[in-house]
Amino acid sequence: MAGATGVALGAFGSPVLAQGTQMLRIRFGSDVSQLDPAKIFGIENQSVATHVYSGLVKYDQATNAIVPDIATGHEVSSDGTVWTFRLRPGVTWHKNFGAFTSDDVKFSFDRILDPSTGSAYRGQLAGLKEVQAPDPMTVRFVLEAPNSGFLHKLCAFNQGWIVSRRAVTEIGERYSMNPIGTGPFVFERWTTGNEVRMSANAAYFGGAPQVSELMFRVVRDETAAAIALENRELDIFFALQSPDVIDRLRRANGVTLLDRPANNTVNLVLNTTAGPLRDVRVRRAIMHAMNRKALIDGFFRGTKTEATSVLTPTFQEYTDEGVPRYAYDPDRARALLREAGVSNFRFEITTPALNPYDRFPVPLANDLQQVGIQATVRVLERAAYGQARSSGNVQSCITAVVGPPDPDSALVTLFHTRSFPPGLNTSRYDRADDLLAEAARAPDMAQRKAAYGRLLTQTMEDVPVLPLFAEQLFVAHGARVQGFVQNSLFTVNASPVSLRGA
């Protein structure tokens, strides 16, 4: 394999590379588990998929502007209901799976829409009436009504990643961990719990990558990952969370620490069909009982910020005008529980086994216990967590609203009835569909923002999802890395990276 010469193992079992080697080594905090865009979930899976797949369009890593990807351009009909895309000719699928055509695009989106697929992202395509492939290099999307944000749904992320009809059909059930794309890197192998290896796609339509190999290495402990970065056994430290490690790497020689506000919040999702959680007074009591400011200032030492709803100020459509706020008020929480006639309430928080999600719910559970809610925390490995959440049977779960700078993406995922399990509307909230449709139809930003404002106000009154904090993203890289751009999607994209001295 290219770049494999001159490799020795360092103290943490990671390759120490000789000068001239072009393997880029990226730290993951958790293992991958699902690389099928119809079912993908989790930042590690999404980061691998970013390198494998293309979309019709994509987000610019620095600015979030929507730019062409595997389509060269598009037109929208005068009534806003027909979107026609012209595709790049001469694009081929990885591993000799043939030529890319409009049939693959149609197959990809039809597959998301098909209920039998069980896609978590079917709700994202609400309002998509039909996908047509009139010729091999043209694809047409017919909408039930105009949707000013529809282009976001086609971006290279989750349901916007395009798969090969032939590969999905021939590989079958094994496809989820044997992905075939048209992107800059080819998936080579996955060693469970250890690493993912990828090779550069020399035929990539955007130009061959400047590194020959990628290695995504699972290093769960952040201090160990920091030492490996300092010792040049890793090149990029992705998903950096620990305040202590952030401080350490900010001072480290030969290390660059990057940070930017994210598009996402971290939230507690409440199943509004489960026992006492049916009562909005109980949900509001939980909100008042949690000392979220102490969590931000104490546990996270100021590396997170306050969230007033599930959206953050990074969205153009964000507003907090008229949106209810819930102060930390244990007495008010106890009073609401008494009004609801609730006592000895056993409440379980389900959370993934990933730092810090496996630890910060503990002080929140302690807060809830102080007002008489018998709260416990259940920590599950990422795959088991995903299964538990998609089952819809959990009382509550911790989730990060991670994704593109499209408010509809987050809000449809959390609140639309078409996102009911196996989708990600684990709260089973059913009062948002009309407001989401109104926002999608809005002809300009002012009306779009007003519609989303009404939705944020309503959901914070009903509190099916409780915002805990807004994310600040931290990524660190070593001195060899050049050209890396930190995005706001909470993924890592190594496509533009080159290595100094390689």
Each residue's pLDDT tens digit, 215-268: 999 999 999 999 999 999 999 999 899 999 999 999 999 999 999 888 889 999
**The one-letter amino acid at 461:** E
The domain tally of the chain equals: 3
Q: What confidence score (pLDDT) does residue 233 get?
A: 97
Q: What confidence score (pLDDT) does residue 423 get?
A: 86
Judge whether residue 6 has pLDDT over 90: no
CATH number of the domain enclosing 161: 3.90.76.10
Query: 343 and 213 share a domain?
Result: no
How much is the pTM?
0.81
Query: 347 and 279 share a domain?
Result: yes
Q: Model confidence at 406, in pLDDT bands (50, 70, 90)? A: confident
CA distance linking residue 70 with residue 83, whole number of Å? 15
Judge whether residue 8 has pLDDT over 70: no
Judge whether residue 342 has pLDDT over 60: yes
Residues 292-334: tens digit of each pLDDT = 999 999 999 999 999 999 998 888 888 999 999 999 999 999 9
Mean pLDDT score of the chain, rounded to an integer? 92
Domain endpoint, select from 169, 201, 227:
169
Domain endpoint, select from 141, 169, 197:
169
Query: 192 and 306 share a domain?
Result: no
Judge whether residue 59 has pLDDT over 60: yes
Judge whether residue 18 has pLDDT over 50: no
In contact, 266 and 400? CB cutoff 8 Å: yes
Query: 423 and 296 share a domain?
Result: yes
CA distance linking residue 384 with residue 219, whole number of Å? 20
Query: 299 and 423 share a domain?
Result: yes
In contact, 30 and 44? CB cutoff 8 Å: yes
> For 102-113, what is the mean pLDDT?
98
Torsion of CA 444, 157, 412, 448, to 10 degrees: -10
Judge whether residue 365 has pLDDT over 50: yes
Q: What confidence score (pLDDT) does residue 84 get?
A: 98
Judge whether residue 502 has pLDDT over 70: no
Domain endpoint, select from 169, 201, 231:
169
Q: Which domain holds residue 131?
A: 54-169
Residues 416-425: tens digit of each pLDDT = 998 899 888 9
Between the alpha carbon of residue 430 and those of residues 188, 415, 427, the distances in Å are 42, 7, 9
> For 452-463, what is the mean pLDDT?
96
Mode of pairing for the β-strands spanning 213-218 and 236-237: unpaired
Among residues 435, 389, 395, 396, the alpha carbon closest in space to that of 412 is found at: 435
Judge whether residue 497 has pLDDT over 50: yes
Give the percent of the chain with pLDDT over 90: 79
Q: What confidence score (pLDDT) does residue 402 get?
A: 72
Query: 238 and 318 share a domain?
Result: no
In contact, 305 and 469? CB cutoff 8 Å: yes
Query: 144 and 82 share a domain?
Result: yes
Query: 192 and 319 share a domain?
Result: no
